[in-house]
Amino acid sequence: MAVLASQHVSSAHAGVADAEWDSALQRMGGHFLQSTLWQRVQTALGHDVIWSRNEDWMWAGAIRAGHFPRYAYLPHGPTAVSRDAMSGALQDAVNAARTRSLDFVRTEPAGDAALPALAASAAHPSRPIQPRWTWVLDLAADEATLRRGLSAGHRGAINAAARRGLMFRASGDPDDIEVFLHLQERTAAAGRFRGQGQSYHRAVARTLMPEHAATLYIAEAGGAPVAAALCFDFSGTRYYAHAVSDPELGRKLQAAAPLVWQMILDARKAGARRFDFWGVSPVNQPAPGAPPHPWDGFSQFKRSFGGTAIERAGTWDLGVRSLRYSLYRAAVRFRR
């Protein structure tokens, strides 16, 4: 089992990163999930956070510290300016994990340097955590141009929203996450996708909404909520993070498309440059005879707003404690 060799003692720190972190992350083009805001969410969820950086790279992660395995997860990280810098960041994360007796580092490095650095680091592809593919809409265009990029179905739903009695509001009140959770429970009761647990959504709302880093959009008809969506804002990007719709009225009124459209328009008005739909099914065609991707339905919904596919490096593991990591990989293969 190949494991990165120890070359230096990591300079990693414990706890939420310092006040300079987010400005440095923005200069390097890093993702929201590497920000101090998301580090605070992880802390609220009960995870220990570690981080490290120099002038060419930076990474932050949360320790998943069950009995077995124990590992550090770096969502959309590290961020680095070059392949050599990325290799240094990956090495630093491994050394930080080693000093904490963790079994491996789970990483999703960002940028063009990611894949070459992962290959040089003998990384192993892992089950996806954050989606490898996302869909991004450029908000530089004017509203009329953005509207022309919509599919006919989305355009029709948006045009008919007022006629169907739909109204939309944006909330920064953490208590309104209960609206989202109520709709989520209705969706789950109907046998559809459940999503993240209630404690997760409450922690996100209570941490991010007071910082104006998260907004809950709610679609209502007759005074009752029929759909809701939570977005994150960071460094000129609005991220479409979580969404839910009443299994009956939400679909009947076609509330989802006009709700997202309102999110897009508000983001553009606030000066955002991009709308990141977060995750879609792979753009490349499946092999002949292969079953459809389970994300095809909501991926088509997202693509129907116009935009461009972006492929990232994916999720990878860097072994730290060789024997324990080998046992973990064997257990994963057995469960499959």
> Does residue 200 share a domain with residue 303?
yes
- Asked if residue 6 belongs to a domain, the reply is no
Residue closest to 303 by CA, chosen among 286, 278, 285: 278
Residue 296 and residue 312: Cα distance in Å, rounded?
18
Give me the pLDDT at residue 7, please. Answer: 53
pLDDT of residue 263: 98
Q: Summarize the confidence of residues 91-111 as an average pLDDT.
A: 96
Do 157 and 73 have their domain in common? no
39 and 182 housed in the same domain: no
CA dist 280 → 115, 134, 197, 270, 295 (Å): 20, 5, 21, 25, 7
Beta strands in the chain (DSSP E): 13-14, 48-53, 57-65, 70-74, 79-80, 104-107, 124-125, 133-138, 166-171, 214-221, 224-234, 237-245, 274-276, 308-311, 316-319
2 is a domain residue: no
Which of the four pLDDT bands, split at 50, 70 and 90, describes residue 8? low
Counted domains in the chain: 2
Q: Does 285 score more than 80 pLDDT?
A: no
My answer on whether omega of the bond before 69 falls inside 30° of 0, hence cis, is yes
Can you read off the two tokens belonging to residue 100?
Answer: 């904490």
Q: Is residue 27 part of a domain?
A: yes
Residues 69-90: tens digit of each pLDDT: 999 999 999 999 999 999 999 9
Q: Give pTM, 2 decimals.
A: 0.93
Maximum distance among all Cα pairs of the chain, rounded to whole angstroms: 65
* Whether residue 209 sits in one domain with residue 169: yes
Angle at 315 between CA 309 and CA 320, to 5 degrees: 160
Three-state DSSP at 149 gives coil
How much is the average pLDDT of 275-282? 95
pLDDT at 194 over 80: no
Considering only residues 10 and 120, tell me which one the structure prediction assigns the higher pLDDT.
Answer: 120
| Tokens (6 digits) for 75 | 């969502």
pLDDT of 9: 73
Q: State whether 125 and 142 are in the same domain.
A: no
Residues 162 and 235 in one domain: yes
Whichever domain contains 249, its CATH number is 3.40.630.30
Identify whether 319 is part of a domain. Answer: yes
Arithmetic mean of pLDDT, 191-204: 87
Whether residue 280 is found in the same domain as residue 328 = no
pLDDT for residue 334: 83
Q: Which of 20-24, 172-176, 190-194 has the lowest mean pLDDT?
A: 190-194
User: Is residue 266 in some structural domain?
Assistant: yes
For 27-81, the pLDDT digits (tens) are 999 999 999 999 999 999 999 999 999 999 999 999 998 889 999 999 999 999 9
Rounded to whole angstroms, how far apart are CA atoms 112 and 164?
46
Instruction: Based on the fold, state whether residues 147 and 115 are members of the same structural domain.
Output: no
Region 184-194: mean pLDDT is 80
* In a shared domain, residues 188 and 298: yes
The interaxial angle of helices 152-160 and 256-269, nearest 10 deg, is 90
1: in domain: no
Closest C-alpha among 274, 24, 299 to residue 137: 274
Q: What is the pLDDT of residues 200-216, one digit of tens each?
A: 999 999 999 999 999 99
- Residue range(s) defining the domain that contains residue 205: 133-311
Examine the pLDDT at 193 and tell me if it is beyond 90.
no
Q: What is the pLDDT of residues 235-244, one digit of tens each?
A: 999 999 999 9
82 plus 148 within the same structural domain: no
Mean per-residue pLDDT over the chain, rounded: 93
